[in-house]
Each structure stands twice: as C-alpha cells, then as structure tokens.
C-alpha cells in the first residue's frame, strides 16, 4: 500500500481489514488506501443508547469544565496539525496548504468554544407580576448526530462537536464514506484529549463508518435531539422531513450557488485573485466555491482575458506536491458530472473555455477549470455542480445584477467587488443579496469561524460555527419564579377559590 508514511502516523493500519467492505481510495491516483469494516446498521441502536448515557453524565459537568476538554482537543490538534493536514490532502485531494488550513479551522473553533463555555448566557426578563422574576436558561440538548461531507472532512465535525461538547451534549459522527480515514484519525486525536481530561463519560464522542443507512438510523431515532448535516440539497430533502416527522431539530448546510458581482469601479487585480481562489481553489469543491460571475458589461472584455490568463497558468497536479494549486476532483463520478454540466451549458448557449482532462497523476480525475460565458442564467447555471465551473454573465444595472444573483434556488454565499460605497451598502442591505453570507471585496469562500456560517433557501437555513450558533446545540427554557406570598395571574386574570 502506498502513502504508508502519511497513514502510519495515526495507527490507521488497525482499521484496515482484508475482509473490510468499504474500500477507501485516494483521489490523488485512485489507489486503495484501506479496506474498512463498516459499522453494522444493527449496532446503531446500541451506539445511540451509549451516547444517551454519556449525555446524562456530561450535562451535569459545569460548562467551563466541559470547555477544558475542548481546550485539550485544540492542543492535540495543534500538535497533530501537519500529520492530519497531510492526511486530509491525501484522502480529500485538496492541496497541502488547504489541508493545513482545514486543521487550523478546527483549532480556531476549539479556541472559540473554550471561551464560549464560560458565556452560555441566558436572560433575565422583567415580569409584569410583583415579586416575580422571569429568566431564560440554555440547557443541553442531548445526543447530536453530525453528518459530514467529503470536501471538509474534519473541520465541519469540529465546528459541530466543539460547540456541542461545551453545550453539554454527546456526539455521534457519520463522516462521508469517501473520507473515513480522516474521521478515524480525528477520533484518535480526540481520544488523546479525552485521556488527558480524565473523567469524561465513555462514548461521549463516537464515530460510525459506512453509508447512508447509518446516517438514516440517526435521522430516524427520536433519541437523537439534533441532526446537523452538511451535503447536497438532495440529501437535505431526504433528511429534513424525517427529522421534522419526529419533531427533532435539524441544522442543515446544503448546496450553494455562489455569485460575485464585479462592478465598474472594482479593483480588477483584486477581483481576479479572489475569483481564481474561490472558483478553482479546492478544485471548485467547497460549498462556498464561486460558481457564477456577474460582470458589468463595461468591464467584461477587460476582466475575461485577465481571468483566462490566470486560468492558463494555474499549476494542476498532485495535491501533495509543493506548488500545486489545483488538485483532482474527488472521483470519476465528479468528473462525469462536470462534463455533463459543460455539455448542458453548451446546449443552452454557453461558450466553454477549459474543462479538458489533464494528465495529472495517472488514476486521478484531473481537469482544467472551466470558464463558461452564458447569454442568460439558464437551467444549468441554476444548479450546483460540485466542480470548477464558473459561469459568466453580463449585466447593465446593479438592480439587474442583484436580481440575477438572487434568482437561484440556493442562498449560501455571495459577494460584490466595487469601490462605490453606495453599491457596496446596497448589496449588504435589505434589498441586496438574499444569502447567508454577503461579502464586499472578498470572494464568497474561505470564511473565518467567528461568524455564523450557513445560508437560506435550498441551502437549508442552518447556522454553524461562530456568533450565536451555539444556541442550536441547546434548548431554551423560560422560568418564572414567584418569590412573593401571593399568586397574581398574568394578564390580570382572576380565578379566586
Ligand atoms: C464547506 O465547503 O462545506 O468558508 C465549508 C469556507 C470554509 C468552509 C467551507 N471556511 O469556504
């Protein structure tokens, strides 16, 4: 088996079984990294019951002490940053710098969560009744099921788990079946933190390896209080009604179809750099990747040649090699989906630049990023294709550009490049972008963890990571305490017996 030095660090060999049914392949060259035994679906009830037991013990540990576990997790992640970053690169195919960035994102959310563990603030509310106090308290929720996608195989777990843990919950993680090794490695790192912490309940953090049926067991169990799922809109459509049917909570981060408006006053050099990073970085496989470029007609003929030039010079190849900026697509199916979208785009009037296969590393799905000029926002432009395809549309007025930007079913991220303060403020105003993220002079991807992350419409409405996203992992409790000697009723109701 190749790549032994990368896999060896976390003792992943222990999970590699000759009769394992889950074949894990690296997108670098398609070779098999391991065969893993999948978690039997029949075990899920027990796994959930264990998590519930862990929750019952963990919820009584004071939140700042729970924060100590997350502080230790952050320390262990710092110590393992290089090794885990390399493994992310190997298993998900993103370049090393982005693999390391992903681990840094985990460390950052741990830092945020540690501080948050001392700030799970409630409210005191003025009561209309004398001698009464009203208050609002945030209580732990229970078992949190975290379902993650291949493209951020470890950071999204960390966003959810760091907060879920300080909020007093137990976590069951169902990673993508395309990236189970990074999940197992992360679990090993978490075990180091748990060991140092000492008295955390057993089964506080669990990981299950396998396909959709395991996720479904979490989704359907009334014992799983919150399902936090990242993935396609199709997946969200399957999950959300099932969780709703049992009145569970859902936190969804689904498809994006992120746009950038480039206005006449934009700094074009800045825009070109932002466009290339967000459209072709991570080989177009971030949910925040730039997929639509809405350019003012007066500058389009200036911007496009600059972009085509930048696209030509971008080094494509093994993500493990220094200097590569674009690695492979995750697998051959992703490549086919890209080719299919490009054919549709042509049929719908598009002019395609790029998109051809590249001799990267034999066995991998290496491709030139595509830039596609479209006459109008056709059906294919309204879809999320998880690949480096950037559709280019032209506009005349800002109103028209904002309408184009908003006129897709997804609502994750968006941005405008302009030096005109009126345009910038309009874009982030009530009549501007309808997305969860709306940036000015910054691309749509690469968000910091301090803000709430997520989007509207078919993106699912969930918010993870910073700001007050922690509230999604807790239940709100309103209490009225009567410290008087009488029993006045609210709204002046009389009921004297
Ligand atoms: C994702 O693609 O699911 O904003 C998450 C970004 C990253 C997270 C992306 N911080 O691009």
Ligand 1: nearest atom to the Cα of 287 = 2
Distance from Cα 105 to the centre of ligand 1, integer Å: 10
Mutating to test ligand 1, I would choose from 453, 454, 464, 465 the residue with most ligand atoms within 8 A of its C-beta, which is 453
Cα(431)–Cα(426) distance, rounded to whole angstroms?
7
Q: Model confidence over 279-315: pLDDT tens digits?
A: 999 999 999 999 999 999 999 999 999 999 999 999 9
Cα angle: 432, vertex 433, 435; to 5 degrees: 150
493: number of CA atoms within 13 Å, CB side?
6
**Catalytic residue chosen out of the listed positions 253, 373, 423, 464:** 253
> Beta strand pairing status for 290-296 and 389-395?
parallel
Ligand 1: nearest atom to the Cα of 286 = 2
Distance from Cα 230 to the centre of ligand 1, integer Å: 10
Q: Is 253 a catalytic residue?
A: yes
**Catalytic residue chosen out of the listed positions 110, 283, 287, 435:** 287
Query: Would the CB of 282 count as within 6 Å of ligand 1?
Result: no
DSSP symbols for 74-106:
HHHHHHTHHHHHHHHHHHH---HHHHHHHHHHH
Query: Would the CB of 249 count as within 6 Å of ligand 1?
Result: no
Torsion over CA of 388, 81, 451 and 125, rounded to 10 degrees? 150
**Nearest alpha-carbon partner for 377 in 355, 402, 408:** 408
> Beta strand pairing status for 410-411 and 456-457?
antiparallel
Cα(94)–Cα(151) distance, rounded to whole angstroms?
8
| Secondary structure class of 16 (helix, strand, coil) | strand
Query: Would the CB of 437 count as within 6 Å of ligand 1?
Result: no
Query: Would the CB of 446 count as within 6 Å of ligand 1?
Result: yes
Q: In order of start, what are the domains of the chain with their CATH numbers?
A: 4-254+460-478 (3.40.605.10), 258-440 (3.40.309.10)
Ligand 1: nearest atom to the Cα of 449 = 10
Query: What tokens does 466 get?
Result: 């910073």
**With bands split at pLDDT 50, 70 and 90, how would you rate the model's confidence at 1?**
very low
189: number of CA atoms within 13 Å, CB side?
29
Residues in CB range of 127: below 8 A, 6 or more apart: 133, 134, 480
Cα(233)–Cα(60) distance, rounded to whole angstroms?
37
Cα(457)–Cα(379) distance, rounded to whole angstroms?
17
| Secondary structure class of 440 (helix, strand, coil) | strand
Mutating to test ligand 1, I would choose from 286, 386, 462 the residue with most ligand atoms within 8 A of its C-beta, which is 286
**With bands split at pLDDT 50, 70 and 90, how would you rate the model's confidence at 85?**
very high
Contact 274, 292 (CB under 8 A): no
**With bands split at pLDDT 50, 70 and 90, how would you rate the model's confidence at 7?**
confident
**Nearest alpha-carbon partner for 58 in 164, 168, 157:** 168
Q: Model confidence over 143-183: pLDDT tens digits?
A: 999 999 999 999 999 999 999 999 999 999 999 999 999 99
DSSP at 367: B
pLDDT of residue 13: 87
pLDDT of residue 2: 57
Mutating to test ligand 1, I would choose from 146, 150, 415, 446 the residue with most ligand atoms within 8 A of its C-beta, which is 446
**Nearest alpha-carbon partner for 80 in 3, 191, 205, 189:** 189
pTM value? 0.97
Q: Model confidence over 230-277: pLDDT tens digits?
A: 999 999 999 999 999 999 999 999 999 999 999 999 999 999 999 999
Mean pLDDT of 452-458: 98
Distance from Cα 155 to the centre of ligand 1, integer Å: 9
pLDDT of residue 158: 98
Protein residue closest via CA to atom 1 of ligand 1 = 287
């Amino acid at each position: 088996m190749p790549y032994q030095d990368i896999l060896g660090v976390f003792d992943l060999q222990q999970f590699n079984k000759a009769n394992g049914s889950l074949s894990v392949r690296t997108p670098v060259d398609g070779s098999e990294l391991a065969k893993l035994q999948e978690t039997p679906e029949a075990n899920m009830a027990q796994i959930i019951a264990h998590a519930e037991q862990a929750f019952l013990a963990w919820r009584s540990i004071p939140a700042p002490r729970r924060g100590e576990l997350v502080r230790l997790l952050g320390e262990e992640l710092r110590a393992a940053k290089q090794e885990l970053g390399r493994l992310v690169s190997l298993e998900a195919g993103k370049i090393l710098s982005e693999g390391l960035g992903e681990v840094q994102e985990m460390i950052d959310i741990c830092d945020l969560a540690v501080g948050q563990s001392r700030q799970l603030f409630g409210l005191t509310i003025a009561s209309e009744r004398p001698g009464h106090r009203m208050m609002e308290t945030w209580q732990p929720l229970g078992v949190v099921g975290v379902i993650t996608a291949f493209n951020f195989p470890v950071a999204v777990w960390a966003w959810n788990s760091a907060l879920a843990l300080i909020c007093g919950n137990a976590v069951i993680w169902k990673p993508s079946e395309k990236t189970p090794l990074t999940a197992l490695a992360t679990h090993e790192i978490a075990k180091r933190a748990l060991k140092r912490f000492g008295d955390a309940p057993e089964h506080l953090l669990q990981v299950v390896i396998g396909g959709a049926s395991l996720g479904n067991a979490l989704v359907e169990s009334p014992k799983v209080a919150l399902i936090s799922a990242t993935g396609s809109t199709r997946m969200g459509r399957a999950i959300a009604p099932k969780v709703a049917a049992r009145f569970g909570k859902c936190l969804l981060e689904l498809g994006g179809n992120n746009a950038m408006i480039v206005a006449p006053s934009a700094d074009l050099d800045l825009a070109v750099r932002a466009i290339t990073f967000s459209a072709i970085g991570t080989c177009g496989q971030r949910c925040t990747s730039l997929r639509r470029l809405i350019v003012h007609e007066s500058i389009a003929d200036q911007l496009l040649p600059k972009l085509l030039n930048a696209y030509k010079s971008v080094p494509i190849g093994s993500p493990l090699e220094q200097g590569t900026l674009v690695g492979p697509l995750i697998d051959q199916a992703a490549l086919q989906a890209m080719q299919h979208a490009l054919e549709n785009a042509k049929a719908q009037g598009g002019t395609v630049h790029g998109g051809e296969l590249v001799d990267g590393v034999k066995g991998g799905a290496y491709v030139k990023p595509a830039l596609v000029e479209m006459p109008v926002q056709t059906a294919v432009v309204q879809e999320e294709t998880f690949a480096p395809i950037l559709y280019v549309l032209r506009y005349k007025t800002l109103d028209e550009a904002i309408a184009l930007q908003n006129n897709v079913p997804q609502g994750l991220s968006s941005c405008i490049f302009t030096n005109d303060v009126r345009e910038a403020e309009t874009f982030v105003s009530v009549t501007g972008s309808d997305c969860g993220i709306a940036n000015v002079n910054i691309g749509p991807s690469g968000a910091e963890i301090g803000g709430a992350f997520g989007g509207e419409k078919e993106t699912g409405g969930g918010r993870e990571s910073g700001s007050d996203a922690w509230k999604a992992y807790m239940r709100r409790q309103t209490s009225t305490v009567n410290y008087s000697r009488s029993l006045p009723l609210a709204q002046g109701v009389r009921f004297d017996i």
